[in-house]
Chain A
Amino acid sequence: QVQLQESGPGLVKPSETLSLICSVSGDSITSSFYYWGWIRQSPGQGLEWIGRVFYTGSTHYNPSLKSRVTLSADTSKNQLSLKLGSVTAADTAVYYCVREPFFDDLLPGGDRSYSYYMDVWGTGTTVTVSS
């Protein structure tokens, strides 16, 4: 049974860097079938995709957060890392770690059709940005 567990400080000061770790058990992050991603949910709000990382280090980021976020994978520890810089109160949220299976199809005309979805979720960790 695959389990994801987020950990990190629950309180971060404005302008500082938010750092979280996701520990993965029951699966290896070096699997070629999955990306590993992060999603957040602000209080009373919907879900926001932050980004994903492949075990090789390849990343995709939400354009709205790209300038401030860094995702990485530590294959020796089977862990993922999220760093979000220059945080403000708007970054207060529950942060979830997820596993993302993926594939793509070639469409007529040469475009590609993508399948990404989140099949395993961590329990989430609450991060509050406040002085």
Chain B
Amino acid sequence: QSVLTQPPSVSAAPGQMVTISCSGTSSNIGRNYVSWYQQVPRTAPKLLIYDNNKRPSGIPDRVSGSKSGTSVTLGITGLQTGDEANYYCGTWDSSLNSYVFGSGTNLTVL
């Protein structure tokens, strides 16, 4: 049972937009900065968003992050088949004194 709650799966058509939610509590998302990771099967995860809404160099601006209270949202516009992957949110939990990940969301581009 993950501390952060994500939907198991989402899907959308190529060219469309999708959002992935991640819900937590006041001790994790509500207080600390959140990051998002993309993992294509059988490869290492890749950082997509850090500090709630910042993109690392090389991540296109069709990828975005936002935060409201104890929830964060990852948005991807202009979906491509290459976006099919598992997406994880992560943050520090100040009560557990541990870094925690969401359970992951599988994105299918139909």
Binding site for B on A (CB under 8 A): 37, 46-49, 52, 60, 62-64, 96, 101, 107, 111-119, 121-124
Query: Do the beta carbons of B100 and A121 come within 8 Å of each other?
Result: no
A47:B47 contact, CB within 8 angstroms: no
B101 / chain A contacts, CB cutoff of 8 Å: 46-49
B1 to chain A, nearest CB (A): 11
Taking A62-B98, A119-B47 as given, write out 6 further A-B residue pairs in contact, using a Cβ cutoff of 8 Å, ordered by the A residue number.
Answer: A47-B39, A49-B90, A63-B98, A114-B92, A115-B92, A118-B47
CA A62 to CA B32, docked complex, whole Å: 17
B51 pairs with A117, CB closer than 8 A: yes
Chain B interface residue bracket vs A: 20 to 34
Does A63 contact B97, Cβ atoms closer than 8 Å? yes
With a cutoff of 8 Å between Cβ atoms, the chain A residues found around residue B35 in the complex are: 117-118
Least CB separation from A97: chain B residue: B44
Least Cβ distance of B91 to chain A in Å?
8
Query: A42 → chain B, closest Cβ, in Å?
Result: 12
Q: Which residues of B are at the interface with A, using a C-beta cutoff of 8 A?
A: 2, 31-33, 35, 37, 39, 44-47, 50-51, 56, 88, 90-92, 94, 96-104
Task: List, in ascending order, chain B residues with CB within 8 A of A115's CB.
Answer: 32-33, 50-51, 92
Chain B residues positioned under 8 Å from A122 (CB to CB): 44
Which residues on the B side are within 8 Å of A117 (C-beta)?
A: 33, 35, 47, 50-51, 90
CA distance A117 to B46 in the complex (A): 11
- The reply to whether B45 and A121 form a contact with Cβ atoms under 8 Å apart is yes
Residues of chain A within 8 A of B31, CB atoms compared: 107, 111, 113-114
Show 8 residue pairs from A and B whose CB-CB distance is below 8 angstroms, ordered by the A residue: A49-B99, A49-B100, A60-B98, A62-B98, A114-B94, A115-B33, A117-B50, A118-B47
Q: How far is the CA of A47 from the CA of B102 in the complex (A)?
A: 8
Would B50 and A121 count as touching, CB distance under 8 A? no
